[in-house]
Structure 1
């Protein structure tokens, strides 16, 4: 097993020791909440009620496009559908969506080149038509009137906005 000079019993002893240490470590971690959080981490909320939790993106070294990619893989079209999205310790994203009747307009998550509204608008630009607009940084969505000017987002103070994606809900 390990060479001609090392008895197989030594190899079995090493494997058994590692297995026992692993079992003791798991048992200890599972009974101590602080140790469990330290060793295994905890899920981090990335989206809450359709708004991006930007501090969580920063903490987990994720970009907006990373988040959008995860959400698209879960068949999400816009942030107004998302009740909560968690970045799990496994590296996966868990998504809970609102029921169809509770979906509101939100930031579209298509790749930039495929967004129907084209490029974002910025502070100072005039609103061409009344409608819902979403902050491109946090997803905050407002109904804005034609002729008004875009102002910094009241949630995150960023300047880029885009037309929101409206839910298409069949209420029958």
Structure 2
């Protein structure tokens, strides 16, 4: 479009573009058809698309949005091409699901693997670094499972879909608090185990009598805090 053809008060162009008013009816019809095609596509892709999305499912969803928008709005683009694109997206996703179902290696390459974030009440720092996840993110995930401190956790896994799976310990031991640092009122109300201390970095628990300002035996951190009583 040429510069001299642009006017701020040209509301017809702003609202309709260069299409005639009659194209509004065509847009309505196109939208209904593409909407129905999207519903069918979503149904064919399976129940996982209604739950939390994996990386490939998110990519398909974005692709569907791009494929659906063009035939709905562009008068020089036919609907058949958009529907064909939706069909290709279905075939690609189903083919990828079949490959990952048959091959564990392909599944790990495509979706990633489950990572252990907490083991016996201690944060797994190497896995946290590898998966680029922070301590606060882990604590937030644990709080959704009504965990109060790390001593209650036997195992905590970061699933490939980004959720946390938590297995609680049958016999909880003292552990590092997972409450937000700014909530001083709740921290003061927590029952403290005065015979143990917790590493601020990994949550390793040691007896205070054996501490003597030494570094954490698990991560070599030298900063300690109180341990929450089991």
Question: Taking structure 1 as the reference length, what is the TM-score of the superposition?
Answer: 0.78
1:62 partnered with 2:126: no
Are 2:209 and 1:145 aligned?
Answer: yes
Q: 2:180 & 2:77 partners in 1: Cα distance?
A: 59
Q: Which has the larger radius of gyration?
A: 2
- The correspondence for 2:217, drawn from 151, 154, 158, is 154
| Aligned counterpart in structure 2 of residue 30 of structure 1, from 74, 94, 101 | 101
Cα offset, 1:13, TM superposition: 3.1
Deviation at 1:134, TM superposition (A): 0.9
1:133 partnered with 2:197: yes
Whole-Å Cα distance in 2 between the matches of residues 141 and 5 of structure 1? Answer: 68
Report the alpha carbon displacement of residue 22 of structure 1 after superposing the two structures with TM. Answer: 2.1
Contact kept, 8 Å, 1:47 with 1:84, in 2: the verdict is yes
Counterpart selection for 1:111 from 177, 180, 185 = 180
Task: Judge conservation of contact 1:30–1:36 (CA < 8 Å) in 2.
Answer: yes
Shift of 1:38: 0.3
Query: Between Structure 1 and Structure 2, how many residues are aligned?
Result: 153
Structure with the bigger RCO (C-alpha within 8 Å, sep 6+) is 1
Q: Could you tell me how far apart the structure 1 residues matched to 2:226 and 2:77 are? A: 71
The superposition leaves residues 77-128 of structure 1 with CA deviations (integer Å, 9 ceiling, x where unpaired) of 11110001111111111111012xx1111111122232339xxxxxxxxxxx
- d(CA) in 2 for partners of 1:39, 1:87: 16
2:202 is paired with a residue whose SS is coil
- Bigger fraction of residues in helix: 2
Query: Structure 1 residue 16: deviation in Å?
Result: 2.3
Aligned to 1:166: 229
Give the distance between the partners of 2:117 and 2:89, measured in 1 at CA. 37
Unpaired runs of at least 5, structure 1: 118-128, 168-172
CA distance in structure 2 between the partners assigned to 1:161 and 1:143 by the alignment: 11
Q: Is the 8 A contact 1:133 1:141 kept in 2?
A: yes
Question: Quick check: 1:91 aligned with 2:152?
Answer: no
What value does the CA root-mean-square deviation take over the aligned residues?
Answer: 2.3
CA distance in 1 between counterparts of 2:92 and 2:153 reads 42
Q: Mark the runs of 5 or more structure 2 residues left unpaired by the alignment.
A: 1-29, 31-70
